[in-house]
Copies of this chain bind each other. A is one copy, B any other.
């Protein structure tokens, strides 16, 4: 069941990839139904808060008519950052299922675990590593593609200069 929903989150991530955004996708599930979907839109919208999880949470809250996403599960391809972990706490999401770890900014186990810090007024169940390889490959391939494009652009600049 977790893999089924993670595949939908991966579909969201692929939408980001197609428009040159870092491929991260998220969905919110309530009673088996997908009530929110989101993918990273930071560059397109030039909005620092337009992460996949934020968009999925906002859509779910609108759909359910409540800021409290009680009994909702959030699936996301990458471990949430502090902002998204904070939004998960704020919205009282019951369970977070994520694909792969983010050792640089992940706040659900990597750098810290905001979702199970008992000083906050809400704690969340966590499941990690669902379709980990696929979620990780999405990102690795995206960044490899960027590096290759940069190298090619540099090569072309050098060629242009030597021909000038």
- In whole angstroms, how far apart are the Cα atoms of A84 and B90 in the complex? 10
Interface band, chain A? 35 or more
Q: A49-B58, A61-B47, A119-B111 are in contact. Are A84 and B86 (CB under 8 A)?
A: yes
Q: A82-B86, A120-B105 are in contact. Are A49 and B54 (CB under 8 A)?
A: yes
Give the oligomeric copy count. 2
Chain A facing B: main interface SS: loop
The residues of B that contact A156 with a CB separation of less than 8 Å are none
- In whole angstroms, how far apart are the Cα atoms of A104 and B111 in the complex? 21
List A residues at the B interface (Cβ < 8 Å): 42-43, 45-51, 54, 57-58, 61-62, 65-69, 81-87, 89-92, 104-105, 107, 111-112, 114, 117, 119-121
Q: Considering the complex of A and B, which 10 residue pairs feature the smallest CB-CB distances, nearest first?
A: A83-B86, A82-B86, A48-B91, A48-B67, A48-B90, A83-B87, A46-B67, A86-B86, A111-B119, A49-B87
